[in-house]
Amino acid sequence: MKKITPAEGMHSETEMNASHAHVTYDNRRQLDLVLAAYHLIAERGFEQLRTRDIAARAGMSIANLHYYFASKEDLIHSVVDYLHQQFVTVHTPAFNMSTGTPLEQIRMQFADVQFRLREKREMIIVMNELYLRALRDPALQTRLKGLDDQWQHYFETVLNDGIQQGMFRKDLNPRAAASVLIAFLKGITYSLMVYPATVNFVEACAELERWLTG
Amino acid sequence: MKKITPAEGMHSETEMNASHAHVTYDNRRQLDLVLAAYHLIAERGFEQLRTRDIAARAGMSIANLHYYFASKEDLIHSVVDYLHQQFVTVHTPAFNMSTGTPLEQIRMQFADVQFRLREKREMIIVMNELYLRALRDPALQTRLKGLDDQWQHYFETVLNDGIQQGMFRKDLNPRAAASVLIAFLKGITYSLMVYPATVNFVEACAELERWLTG
Amino acid sequence: MKKITPAEGMHSETEMNASHAHVTYDNRRQLDLVLAAYHLIAERGFEQLRTRDIAARAGMSIANLHYYFASKEDLIHSVVDYLHQQFVTVHTPAFNMSTGTPLEQIRMQFADVQFRLREKREMIIVMNELYLRALRDPALQTRLKGLDDQWQHYFETVLNDGIQQGMFRKDLNPRAAASVLIAFLKGITYSLMVYPATVNFVEACAELERWLTG
Amino acid sequence: MKKITPAEGMHSETEMNASHAHVTYDNRRQLDLVLAAYHLIAERGFEQLRTRDIAARAGMSIANLHYYFASKEDLIHSVVDYLHQQFVTVHTPAFNMSTGTPLEQIRMQFADVQFRLREKREMIIVMNELYLRALRDPALQTRLKGLDDQWQHYFETVLNDGIQQGMFRKDLNPRAAASVLIAFLKGITYSLMVYPATVNFVEACAELERWLTG
DNA sequence: TATGAATGAGTTTTCATTCAT
DNA sequence: GATGAATGAAAACTCATTCAT
């Protein structure tokens, strides 16, 4: 019924940071489909994802969807690419990964998660949908693991720096601490995704910060 | 063809802790269906959950499934009940919620999560499937929130006790610390569910313990 | 629109001579589908064969067709079985394969083909549709080859008998003659299937008979 | 992208024997499409003939196919024209329809069929696909009947000549004998098309020849 | 001429659900 | 209780055809 004009504005954004094969779209219509699928996954989950809805939301016929993507699964792969890129690209406005003291960088991570929770809730939902899908999709599992490993490595480095600069407790085990921080951020994100604003995010971060610093 | 006489095996087991309406099953066949659905959700996710597979796994006809449950959704509600009960009931063999020093109780929680991760992976997967479903199901959201609130309250109590007994840091903010602990446990569970044994669970718990105690 | 009540009357017929695995149908509805498909192949060819038409002709829903047959191709396999059996079973009322002099047996073959041409035109059309399909279906090819080999062997035996009994030319090459007879019968069947009654079938048979006898 | 300049290769070839309206192609691209369709019919049958495949095989877009042919059926008509012409044009290198003794002419026909079987198997397959299509296409039926009638007439003439020249049996019924010969050639062609080299073609022809000559 | 993009109308197949027994 | 049989509605995907350029 309702014709939805293809979402505008994120196009150029999707062309940068194309670290992955499928990430750029030579075609605007293709991106429209990916975005439509992305939003529908966030809204209804994979369980209720229907090609007809995707096509309608992208403002085109279902046959045209299949002109751009061989199959539903194929389109979903592109959504994964898109999300992967978003995850690397989208941060707090203030975000700068390699600037500031170790403590500032940890704070930046906290702020970033908080930003996504507030401004990019869809991203978090889709990401969590993918985590569950990864249970039955080894390729996807590998990709998500890659993201996690990067994150772990980053935290370890920062924590190491902080310990050496005397900012953090001397007895920190950087690897274990990084695991704790990541688990904490994942877990709190997960909770707040489902029932928003039920946990005092800032307070919890502050608490953790005090634990790190002594 | 094959007549199945109502067995009584796990029946009594399923009747305890019936804090919720649907939790008891007047019939073994009903429970078979719930268990079949539960396992299939763990194996394939809601996305691939089919009534025909549930019925087949429970060893009965699809028509009979609808004799016991008005609809697929109805059966899923019973799975939620079953899981809810499992969550309250199933613990480490060693588990005892109200015994031991505060530190021992925290350790017990860690051990319990670890036990579930190892022995009850299905439970964790189904629980996470439900978390995502809760996004579109307010009633489910409320129930899950209830579980979380209980957990939060328990941790706060234990932490308070620990602080007063001088076991934990004096400057702990019990509410924030409880949130951190819960987020940590959720997050690490989530990670290990998807890619098992990639994080040193024990190490991370030990680190957290040191942070709590000073 | 129009509900077609399942064709009647050939049921018992299909239960005899079950030399092939799938040939008997425990279920009447299954046979209805096979017959419907059989008739539609004869009327429109495989090119225009649609499951919806088959189901409609069998007087049931398309979903029910898939209750009995996993796929369209699966149903077609059953049509092949049915036709195979028909080919072995259906003959001139007078037909008796192992009675009479060799010449009478040859005449019986001619009569039999003529009977099919007149009374079982559908059978011939479907058979020819299958011959073309066999070009891309090795299993089918093997089955059809089997029928042909039986026929060839039968003709060779009869011709040999006739030569020894002095009924046929002494210089007949039984194998070659059998090939000629079969090719002739196939070819004339083929022609008459497409444009009926344009060739004097009886006259041609008589001519061949004279050639055989000297 | 790729510009194809109108080549002239087989063009003149396709313009001869244009006894039918559509037989000449003002355009090489048109012929490419006809040839592509022709090959695909031989390979997959009408059942699996798809315009997209035809266009791809002809090296052009599907939209361009519709520039040259109003519809798929229209293109198929041109394939019929092409095949018709091929049938009249393509023969054994040795072939000469109106030269030699009657027996030599019969032998020439045998050789010609054998040649097509070996070198032009596609032609035979497409021809048989058309025979089945003719069942539902009266116009096509008429055209194929025309070819058959020509053949029948030719054989009758040759046989008559042979009888008068004392080469063939005196008691031959030319019309019936011609029918037998044509049916034989159609039938053996049909068999050998489906399972090649399973019948001794030469032996069968020799046998028939002996029957004709006494 | 040529094509990328688009689509209406189908095509097979699937699914939760119902019904007669 | 239990099931074989049945189905409407929908699912993904296909196909010949058209349109704008």
Can you give B5-40 as a three-state secondary structure string? CCCCCCHHHHHCCCCCHHHCCCCHHHHHHHHHHHHH
Kindly tell me if the per-residue pLDDT of D12 is higher than 60. no
Whole-number Å distance between alpha carbons of B69 and B86: 21
Name, in order, each residue with C-beta under 8 angstroms of A141's C-beta and a sequence gap of 6 or more. A134, A135, B194, B195
The length of chain A is 214
Whole-number Å distance between alpha carbons of A176 and D134: 78
Residue of chain C minimizing CA distance to D180: C204
pLDDT (tens place) for every residue of chain B, 214 residues total: 333 333 323 333 333 333 344 456 678 999 999 999 999 999 999 999 999 999 999 999 999 999 999 999 999 999 999 999 999 999 988 888 788 999 999 999 999 999 999 999 999 999 999 999 999 999 999 999 999 999 999 999 999 999 999 999 999 999 999 999 999 999 999 999 999 999 999 999 999 999 999 8
Angle, helix D174-194 to helix D138-164, in steps of 10 degrees: 120
If you write DSSP's letter for every residue of chain B in order, what string do you get?
--------TTHHHHHTT--SGGG--S-HHHHHHHHHHHHHHHHH-GGG--HHHHHHHTTS-HHHHHHH-SSHHHHHHHHHHHHHHHHHH---TT--TT-S-HHHHHHHHHHHHHHHHHH-HHHHHHHHHHHHHHTT-HHHHHHHHHHHHHHHHHHHHHHHHHHHTTSS-TT--HHHHHHHHHHHHHHHHHHHHHSTTSS-HHHHHHHHHHHHH-
Whole-number Å distance between alpha carbons of D70 and C13: 48
Residue labelled with tokens 């049916």: D183
Question: Which of A167-170's residues contact partners 24+ apart within 8 Å by CB, and which partners?
Answer: A167/A101, A167/A102, A167/A103, A167/A213, A168/A102, A168/A103, A168/A212, A168/A213, A168/A214, A169/A212, A169/A213, A169/A214
Interchain proximity B176–A141, CB inside 8 Å: no
**DSSP summary character for residue C3:** P
- List % helix, strand, coil for chain C (3-state, nearest 5): 70, 0, 30
pLDDT number for residue A94: 81
| C4 within a domain of the structure (yes/no) | no
CB B68 within 8 A of CB B37: no
CB C142 within 8 A of CB C188: no
Residues of chain B contacting residue A145, judged by C-beta atoms under 8 Å apart: 194-195, 198
CB B71 within 8 A of CB B33: no
Kindly tell me if the per-residue pLDDT of C14 is higher than 90. no
Residues of chain B contacting residue A168, judged by C-beta atoms under 8 Å apart: none
Residue B15 sits in the same domain as residue B31: yes
Residue type, B121: R
pLDDT in tens, D29-55: 999 999 999 999 999 999 999 999 999
Whole-number Å distance between alpha carbons of B100 and B96: 8
| C125 within a domain of the structure (yes/no) | yes
| A1 within a domain of the structure (yes/no) | no
| Range with lowest mean pLDDT among A21-35, B169-183, C198-212 | A21-35
Interchain proximity C194–D144, CB inside 8 Å: yes
* Distance E19 C1' – C36 CA (angstroms): 25
**Among candidates D44, D186, D207 on the partner chain, residue whose Cβ is nearest the Cβ of C191:** D186
Kindly tell me if the per-residue pLDDT of A23 is higher than 50. no
Residue B149 sits in the same domain as residue B114: yes
Question: Is the Cα dihedral A189, A190, A196, A200 positive or negative?
Answer: negative
Interchain proximity C177–D125, CB inside 8 Å: no
Question: Structural domain tally of chain C?
Answer: 2
* Distance E11 C1' – C51 CA (angstroms): 9
Distance from CA of C62 to the nearest CA of D (A): 21
Residues of chain B contacting residue A129, judged by C-beta atoms under 8 Å apart: 132
CB A126 within 8 A of CB A66: no
Domain that holds residue D48: 11-86
Residue-averaged pLDDT of chain D: 89
Mutate: best of C43, C47, C114, C171, partner D, most D CBs <10 A? C47
Residue D57 sits in the same domain as residue D42: yes
Distance from CA of A14 to the nearest CA of B (A): 27
pLDDT in tens, D155-203: 999 999 999 999 999 999 999 999 999 999 999 999 999 999 999 999 9
| B4 within a domain of the structure (yes/no) | no
Residue of chain C minimizing CA distance to D146: C195
Structure-block tokens of residue C74: 């699966």
Interface residues 93-122 of D with strand E (CB < 7 Å): none
A and C interact (at least 3 Cβ pairs within 8 A): no
Residue C75 sits in the same domain as residue C145: no
* Distance F2 C1' – C5 CA (angstroms): 30
Interchain proximity B193–A133, CB inside 8 Å: no
Q: Which residues of C61-80 are buried (b: 16+ CB within 10 A; e: fewer)?
A: eeeebeebbeeeeebbbbbb
Q: How far is CA B84 from CA B32, B75, B87, B88, B144, in A?
A: 17, 14, 5, 7, 8
Residue B33 sits in the same domain as residue B127: no
Domain boundary among D45, D64, D86: D86
The reply to whether D63 Cβ lies less than 7 angstroms from strand E is yes
Domain containing C53 — which CATH number? 1.10.357.10
Distance from CA of A211 to the nearest CA of B (A): 5
Name, in order, each residue with C-beta under 8 angstroms of C103's C-beta and a sequence gap of 6 or more. C162, C167, C168, C209, C212, C213
Angle, vertex CA B8, rays to CA B2 and CA B13, nearest 5: 135
| B5 within a domain of the structure (yes/no) | no
Interchain proximity C204–D183, CB inside 8 Å: yes
Whole-number Å distance between alpha carbons of B183 and A198: 12
Whole-number Å distance between alpha carbons of C87 and A81: 58
Residue D42 region by backbone torsions, left for phi larger than 0, else alpha for psi between -120 and 50, else beta: alpha
Residue B103 sits in the same domain as residue B168: yes
Residues of chain C contacting residue D180, judged by C-beta atoms under 8 Å apart: 184, 204, 207-208
Kindly tell me if the per-residue pLDDT of A173 is higher than 90. yes
CB D13 within 8 A of CB D19: no
- Report, in ranges, which bases of strand E sit under 7 Å from a protein C-beta: 1-20
Residue D183 sits in the same domain as residue D154: yes
Residue C100 sits in the same domain as residue C69: no
Residue-averaged pLDDT of chain A: 89
Residues of chain D contacting residue C41, judged by C-beta atoms under 8 Å apart: none
Residue A80 sits in the same domain as residue A144: no
Size of interface A-B (CB pairs under 8 A): 150
Whole-number Å distance between alpha carbons of B85 and D171: 99
The reply to whether A67 Cβ lies less than 7 angstroms from strand E is yes
Interchain proximity B129–A129, CB inside 8 Å: no
Per-residue pLDDT band at D99 (split at 50, 70, 90): confident
**Among candidates D131, D204, D212 on the partner chain, residue whose Cβ is nearest the Cβ of C190:** D131
Q: Looking only at Cα atoms, what is the longest distance across chain D?
A: 68
The reply to whether D64 Cβ lies less than 7 angstroms from strand E is yes
What mean pLDDT comes out for the span C199-208? 96
Residue C119 sits in the same domain as residue C198: yes
| A169 within a domain of the structure (yes/no) | yes
Name, in order, each residue with C-beta under 8 angstroms of C108's C-beta and a sequence gap of 6 or more. C92, C94, C95, C96, C97, C100
Q: Is C136 helix (H, G, I), strand (E, B) or coil?
A: coil
Interchain proximity D135–C125, CB inside 8 Å: yes
Residues of chain B contacting residue A128, judged by C-beta atoms under 8 Å apart: 131-132
Helix (H) or strand (E) holding D46: none
Interchain proximity A179–B186, CB inside 8 Å: no
Per-residue pLDDT band at C26 (split at 50, 70, 90): low
The reply to whether B50 Cβ lies less than 7 angstroms from strand E is yes
| D118 within a domain of the structure (yes/no) | yes
Q: D3: which nucleotide lies closest, measuring CA to C1'?
A: E2
Residues of chain D contacting residue C125, judged by C-beta atoms under 8 Å apart: 132, 135
CB A32 within 8 A of CB A7: yes
| C2 within a domain of the structure (yes/no) | no
Residue C55 sits in the same domain as residue C116: no
Burial class for B6, CB neighbours closer than 10 Å (0-12, 13-18, 19+): exposed
Domain boundary among B45, B71, B86: B86
Residue labelled with tokens 């499937």: B129
Question: Is the Cα dihedral B125, B128, B134, B135 positive or negative?
Answer: negative
Q: How far is CA A35 from CA A18, A26, A88, in A?
A: 17, 15, 17
End-to-end CA gap in chain D: 66
Distance from CA of D6 to the nearest CA of C (A): 34
The length of chain C is 214
Structure-block tokens of residue D22: 């559509």
Mutate: best of D113, D141, D150, D191, partner C, most C CBs <10 A? D191
**Among candidates A129, A134, A184 on the partner chain, residue whose Cβ is nearest the Cβ of B184:** A184
What mean pLDDT comes out for the span A111-135? 97
Residue B96 sits in the same domain as residue B82: no
Domain boundary among D56, D86, D116: D86
pLDDT number for residue A68: 98
Residues of chain D contacting residue C176, judged by C-beta atoms under 8 Å apart: 200, 203-204, 206-207
pLDDT in tens, B80-128: 999 999 999 999 888 887 889 999 999 999 999 999 999 999 999 999 9
pLDDT number for residue A175: 97
Interchain proximity B131–A45, CB inside 8 Å: no
A and B interact (at least 3 Cβ pairs within 8 A): yes
Kindly tell me if the per-residue pLDDT of A79 is higher than 70. yes
**Among candidates A135, A194, A208 on the partner chain, residue whose Cβ is nearest the Cβ of B180:** A208
Kindly tell me if the per-residue pLDDT of D101 is higher than 50. yes
